[in-house]
Amino acid sequence: MVAPAAARRRSRSARPTRTVRSDCPTSDAARTSSRAVQNAFRRHYDTTPLGYLRQIRLDRARRELQAADPSAGDTVAAIALRWGFGAPGRFSHAYRARYGQPPSRTLRR
């Protein structure tokens, strides 16, 4: 198992000729197994890498909902789509599970 700091060091020490692409798995960038990355995330963040990314996207969508103006045409569906949630119903369910209220209520405030 590799701690996040060790994974970052490994990533930084990669040969200069090697470039990290955005479509490259995290485990390749850290030069470790995907299982080690998952275990490190579970240990340090209590979630998987994809779960962590989803939490970040939900947090950013919430900030945008709080700053949005429904009278200017801002909608929950448009904001959800901007943050990578293609299905508004799934976004609403995940949002309610995380924040205890529907995203439409956050938008109206």
pLDDT tens-place string over residues 38-97: 888 889 889 888 899 999 999 999 999 999 999 899 999 999 999 999 999 999 999 999
What local confidence, expressed as pLDDT, does residue 4 receive?
58
CATH superfamily label, 53-108: Homeodomain-like (1.10.10.60)
Report domain extents, the chain: 4-45, 53-108
pLDDT higher than threshold 50 for residue 3: yes
Q: Look up residue 100 and give its amino acid.
A: G
Give the separation between CA 33 and CA 29, rounded to whole angstroms: 10
Query: Could you tell me the pTM of the whole model?
Result: 0.69
Q: What is the pLDDT of residues 10-41, one digit of tens each?
A: 544 443 334 444 455 666 777 778 788 888 88
Angle, helices 88-99/49-67, rounded to nearest 10 degrees: 90
